[in-house]
Copies of this chain bind each other. A is one copy, B any other.
Amino acid sequence: MRVLWVYAHPEPRSLNAALRHEGLRTLTGLGHEIRQSDLYAMRFDPVVDRDDFGAGDGRLIVGDESRRAYEGGRLSDDIVAEQEKLLWSDTVVLQFPLWWFGMPAILKGWFDRVFVKGFGYGVTHPDGRTKRYGDGVLSGRRALVVVTAGSPATALGPRGINGDLEELLFPLLHGTLWYAGMAPLAPLLVPGADRPTNYHQTAAKLRDRLIRLPDEEPLPYRHQDSDDYDENLVLCDDLATGESGLSVHCGDRRSAVRDFSPNRG
């Protein structure tokens, strides 16, 4: 594999840093190639603005301007560098602490800035149809999200008070990775991260997921290019009939690798 490891934590002596070290060591030991984006260490700028696009002072329409800059080779160097790493990779690992039930801003802004129109979205087939949800510039790549959380696993389970982890991460897993063509795997949750009690067990789980990364079944999100959605991009009546909510976009509702037993926290 050619793995791009994207990492967003401010402290080099953290649990996250230890797990990253373990992960990189595991992948290297297996003979895989690695490149990294350590966003805090890079002081990555997460704020989209006109400087990204070499734009003048006309009215900034982000999508249009980003596409022109992408196609015209005028994107900021730091954006181009990240796009090159993504195109080099066949596998992406995204590792971050869950802050307010989402990505830290520095990582959210990595997507905002790097996944410009023409690269992350707005890519069309020759007949004009838009490629998305399972198809796009980044298709063929797998993505694994590794996330630490202060909360116990049960509180992030299917009926836990914080909300189901896979659904909390739906804007990333489905709305960004899958949208852009990548195949996300079930996220790896490291719960109870404020009071880590068994680091070796956690590291073993991470190693196990990384070893199985090339073979694991991705989340079974539906393809836009199927007959599952109608002309308004609404799920057809005969699928998940009478149901609504994010889970209807999974052909098979529950992935096998999750473990929300109470004693895991």
Contact = CB atoms under 8 A, between A and B. Distances in A.
A244 interface: yes
Contacts of A184: none
Interface stretch (A7-15, A20-28, A74-82, A87-95): A7-15
A154 B232 contact: yes
Interface in A135-172: 150, 152, 154-155, 157-164, 167-168, 170-172
Nearest to A52: B10
A246 interface: yes
Nearest to A245: B245
Contacts of A158: 244-245
A203 interface: no
A105 B233 contact: no
A50 B232 CA distance: 47
Nearest to A46: B105
B159 A244 contact: yes
A106 interface: yes
A246 B163 CA distance: 5
A234 to B, nearest CB: 5
B59 A14 contact: yes
Contact of A59 (B13, B103, B106, B108): B13
Interface of A: 10-11, 13-14, 40, 46-50, 59-63, 97, 99-106, 108-109, 111-112, 115, 133, 150, 152, 154-155, 157-164, 167-168, 170-172, 174-176, 179, 194, 222, 224, 229, 232-235, 240, 243-249, 262
